[in-house]
Amino acid sequence: MQITIDLPEKLLQHFNRDRLAHEIPEALVIQAYQAEKITHAEVGRILGLSSRWTVDAFLKEHKADLHYDEADLEHDRVSLQQLRAKSSHSACCNQPTFVFPNV
């Protein structure tokens, strides 16, 4: 969707005009995220950010509060347990065998 907005010159003088096409959507995304209208993942999808860490860095750079509640903590805790279980299983069962030639 394309929207045309008339902005006062006094406001425009504070911005790099070449960056406005990026800064305005970013500002709207930040505002929607802080109002909890969109999720962390949606921030990434809308702005084309490649990873959770890239989204975190973007939000931090723009001083947007990261929403992280008990449900997020529990999800991360379960994910960590699964990764640890998978890692310990592969460490005990899939260890490479090294054969050294007789010297």
Tens of pLDDT along 49-98? Answer: 999 899 999 999 999 987 777 887 888 899 899 999 888 766 556 555 55
Q: Give the tokens for residue 98.
A: 């090294």
Does the pLDDT value for residue 25 go beyond 80?
A: yes
Q: What is the pLDDT of residue 102?
A: 60
Cα angle vertex 39, ends 37, 62, to 5°?
90
Task: Please give the backbone phi and psi of residue 90, each rounded to the nearest 5 degrees, phi first.
Answer: -70, -30
CB atoms within 10 A of CB 55: 21
Tell me the three state secondary structure of residue 98. coil
Q: Which residues contact 103 (CB under 8 A, 6 or more apart)?
A: none
Q: What is the pLDDT of residue 75?
A: 85
Q: Give the tokens for residue 30.
A: 């930040």
pTM beyond 0.75: the answer is no
